[in-house]
Amino acid sequence: MPDRYGRPPRGVRPTPDRDSKDWWERLAGHEFTVQRCDTCHTTRFPARAFCPACRTERWHWEAVAPQGTVESWIVNRRPFMPGSTEPYVVVLVRLAAVPGCLIHGGWDGDGEPEYGQAVQGVYADMGDDLALLNWRPAE
């Protein structure tokens, strides 16, 4: 499905694993979640089986606002994948909900982002069962 600029979808479909399968399903429903430990309440992302802070395996999904700040970005000018339209920007975002967590995604803003810029996630539907999270300047 083309994005809002009519560009074809880029990239290869992700392959959910045991720990990330539920996360991808929630993202397809436009819900951004992180894991929260039931013992020490630490948030974490990406999904994993146990808490890196206290090593317990009891946790739950917690819906959070997909917000953060730009840590870095690249402008890709090489055609790595069929159907991609270069150049495009891939942004690295410091996630507000999980201290120390960096997440990457496509840039859905004009031009290039700026370091430290506040951003919010944008759900990019890639079919009935898949959405990706891109980023644009926060409103």
Q: By CB under 5 A, name the binding residues for Zn ion.
A: 37, 39-40, 42, 51, 53-54
Considering the complex, state which of residue 53 and residue 75 has its C-beta at the smaller distance from Zn ion: 53
Minimum CB separation of residue 36 from Zn ion in Å reads 9
Considering the complex, state which of residue 39 and residue 72 has its C-beta at the smaller distance from Zn ion: 39
Minimum CB separation of residue 58 from Zn ion in Å reads 8
Considering the complex, state which of residue 47 and residue 51 has its C-beta at the smaller distance from Zn ion: 51
The amino acid that residue 78 corresponds to is R
Minimum CB separation of residue 98 from Zn ion in Å reads 13
Minimum CB separation of residue 48 from Zn ion in Å reads 11
Q: Which residue has the tokens 């429903």?
A: 29
Closest C-alpha to 35, from 17, 20, 54, 13: 20
Ramachandran angles phi, psi of 88, nearest 5°: -140, 160
Structure tokens at 20: 């990330």
Beta carbons within 8 Å of 17's beta carbon, 6+ residues apart: none
Minimum CB separation of residue 74 from Zn ion in Å reads 33
Considering the complex, state which of residue 32 and residue 59 has its C-beta at the smaller distance from Zn ion: 59
Task: Give CA–CA dist 81/73, Å, rounded.
Answer: 19
Task: Give CA–CA dist 139/118, Å, rounded.
Answer: 9
Considering the complex, state which of residue 101 and residue 130 has its C-beta at the smaller distance from Zn ion: 101
Structure tokens at 48: 């994993």
